[in-house]
A and B are shown apart, each in its own frame.
Chain A
Amino acid sequence: MTAMPRRPAETKLHRISDDPDAIYAYALKHGWTDGLPVIPPTPARVRRMLAAVDMKPETVVARVDPRGGAATVERIAINAVMAGCLPEYLPVLIAAVEAVCDPSFNLHGIQATTNPVSPLLIVNGPIRQAIGINSGRNALGPGARANATIGRALRLILLNIGGAIPGVVDKAILGMPGKYTFCVGENEEESPWEPLHLERGFRREESTVTAVGAQGTNNVLCLSGAAEATLLLAADALATMGHNNVLIGKGNPVVFFTPGHARIFREQGFSTKQSVKEFLFEHSQIPADRFPPQEVLPTHPMAERALRNGKVCVARRQEDILVVVAGGPEPYHTTLCPSFGETWAVTKRITGGSRPAPPRPDAAGTGPRSPARPPQRTR
């Protein structure tokens, strides 16, 4: 039998009615939730969550800005339970916390800004299939417990540990739905190209999570079956004067292509992701004289943008555009997410999951159950 980890003495306990409505009201009253109901983080549930990783509950994974709260393994587990995660998701969530707390991600800015930005989590490697992360049809939509709850758990961590209280610290003017949950896998099996984590220096057999400071999804419809026509439409959508990455000249805009579009690209001469990025970069540049004469972002005047031969680029370098294969097989829809600009994508290896998940008498997931083998450890 797996030994249950001890709970750190400092964690405060609350004794409340076990009525679901009362639990929901209590979480709302204390500002612990994104507005949706939560699973009560009972000591037993949290212990089961913690038993999925080989880490001490009191270990501090990171300090979460702007509050600087300590994201201990236990606090991450508590928020994971509340969001509806299964224990085997915890290693992904821990890596996600490490990623968003990396200084180059600029979580402080992302948490407090007026901009509609949220961490977008892109999961690569064998863990996607082991825990049921959807990278196929509706990958960015509802239906998969892993996608829904890992993204949501990160949001609760940003709220409860990082202090991003909407309207108080989180000053988003409109916000966007991805601030509830924003987690997807890359469809590596149906991609003709190397997956994102290989591009970023990891091995194919490793599992990783990449955090991107992303704005909401923007769809591009292209049914032509012609590679260049499809890429031109995607480049046109990228070339938006008001996107932060355009105005600031930094960040990683993300373009999701379906396996169908990726296959067409490959068949029609775009044999690598790099060739696609090169085309997008070249065809999304905006002539500087098209911008209004008034500086639309005075803090970043024209001279500070990513300029090239009198044109404004959507990224500093073509490599900074992230191309990810996801979604259903049809070569119809392409989706892109602009970047917050003052942020760089961060990829972390998923580790810590060396223990098999213990029995879950109260778990009722719709996704795959225990992983066939435990998630990988870091090298």
Chain B
Amino acid sequence: MKKRSVTILDPTARPEASLHRLPLPPRTLRGITVAVLTNRWQSMDLIAERFAQRLPVEYGVADVLIQPIPLAGPAPEALLDEVAARAQLAVVGLAN
């Protein structure tokens, strides 16, 4: 018996293009400011603390800026602009 087929439309959407427009990371960590954005869950606070301790010692990072972000929602644009102005690299932490 001949198999029959049907054409269907794809229900999915691609990710928003701007989400993939990330700048190239710096070539070295030495001498730069690294921002750590933490949503303040206990484990992320610990991780942020470790970054602040070890990045300057082990990688020559000039400064680590720990910046709290909302617990369960996107960070405000103004906050992201401020971080972009002050740091050359950012780590976003959402640890639970």
Of B4, B13, B18, B72, the contact of A109 (CB 8 Å cutoff): B72
Residues of A within 8 A of B10 (CB): 11-14, 78
Q: How far is the CA of A106 from the CA of B75 in the complex (A)?
A: 11
Taking the complex as formed, is B12 at the interface, i.e. its CB lies under 8 A from any CB of chain A? yes
Residues of B within 8 A of A40 (CB): 6, 8
**Is the Cβ of A15 less than 8 Å from the Cβ of B5?**
yes
**Is the Cβ of B6 less than 8 Å from the Cβ of A342?**
no
CB distance from B77 to the nearest CB of A (A): 11
Of A7, A17, A114, the contact of B9 (CB 8 Å cutoff): A7
Residues of A within 8 A of B96 (CB): 114, 171
**Is the Cβ of B9 less than 8 Å from the Cβ of A13?**
yes
Residues of B within 8 A of A184 (CB): none
**Is the Cβ of B6 less than 8 Å from the Cβ of A69?**
no
**Is the Cβ of B6 less than 8 Å from the Cβ of A17?**
yes
**Is the Cβ of B7 less than 8 Å from the Cβ of A43?**
yes
Taking the complex as formed, is A136 at the interface, i.e. its CB lies under 8 A from any CB of chain B? no
Taking the complex as formed, is A369 at the interface, i.e. its CB lies under 8 A from any CB of chain B? no
Taking the complex as formed, is A95 at the interface, i.e. its CB lies under 8 A from any CB of chain B? no
**Is the Cβ of B15 less than 8 Å from the Cβ of A67?**
yes
Of A43, A67, A299, the contact of B71 (CB 8 Å cutoff): A299
**Is the Cβ of A342 less than 8 Å from the Cβ of B40?**
no
**Is the Cβ of A46 less than 8 Å from the Cβ of B9?**
yes
**Is the Cβ of B13 less than 8 Å from the Cβ of A70?**
yes
Taking the complex as formed, is B19 at the interface, i.e. its CB lies under 8 A from any CB of chain A? yes
Residues of B within 8 A of A300 (CB): 71
Q: Knowing A18-B5, A63-B16, A299-B41, say if A78 contacts B11 (CB, 8 Å).
A: yes
Interface residues of B in 62-96 (CB under 8 A from A): 70-74, 94, 96
Taking the complex as formed, is A71 at the interface, i.e. its CB lies under 8 A from any CB of chain B? yes
Taking the complex as formed, is B3 at the interface, i.e. its CB lies under 8 A from any CB of chain A? yes
Query: Interface majority SS on B: helix, strand, loop or mixed?
Result: loop
Q: How far is the CA of A341 from the CA of B16 in the complex (A)?
A: 27
Taking the complex as formed, is A193 at the interface, i.e. its CB lies under 8 A from any CB of chain B? no
Closest to B39 in A: A299
CB distance from A46 to the nearest CB of B (A): 6
CB distance from A365 to the nearest CB of B (A): 20
Closest to A163 in B: B15
Closest to B42 in A: A298
CB-defined interface of A304-341 with B at 8 Å, one 1/0 digit per residue? 00000000000000000000000000000000000011
Residues of A within 8 A of B7 (CB): 13-15, 42-43
CB distance from B38 to the nearest CB of A (A): 10
Q: How far is the CA of A70 from the CA of B14 in the complex (A)?
A: 8
**Is the Cβ of A16 less than 8 Å from the Cβ of B6?**
yes
Taking the complex as formed, is A348 at the interface, i.e. its CB lies under 8 A from any CB of chain B? no
Of B9, B16, B19, the contact of A41 (CB 8 Å cutoff): B9
Q: How far is the CA of A357 from the CA of B71 in the complex (A)?
A: 44
Q: How far is the CA of A209 from the CA of B27 in the complex (A)?
A: 51
Taking the complex as formed, is A75 at the interface, i.e. its CB lies under 8 A from any CB of chain B? yes
Interface residues of A in 109-128 (CB under 8 A from B): 109, 112-115
CB-defined interface of B8-46 with A at 8 Å, one 1/0 digit per residue? 111111111011000000000000000000011110000
CB distance from B80 to the nearest CB of A (A): 14
Taking the complex as formed, is A108 at the interface, i.e. its CB lies under 8 A from any CB of chain B? yes
User: Hey, which bits of chain A sit against chain B, CB under 8 A?
Assistant: 7, 11-18, 23, 30, 32, 40-43, 46, 63-65, 67-72, 74-75, 78-79, 82, 106, 108-109, 112-115, 156, 160-161, 163, 171, 298-300, 340-342
12 extra interchain contacts, Cβ-Cβ under 8 A, other than A13-B10, A41-B8? A23-B8, A63-B16, A69-B12, A69-B13, A69-B16, A109-B70, A112-B94, A161-B11, A161-B12, A161-B13, A171-B96, A342-B70
7 residue pairs bridging A and B, Cβ less than 8 Å apart = A13-B10, A15-B5, A42-B7, A63-B16, A68-B15, A109-B70, A299-B71
List of 7 A-B pairs having minimum Cβ-Cβ separation, nearest first: A69-B13, A68-B16, A109-B72, A12-B10, A18-B6, A109-B73, A161-B13
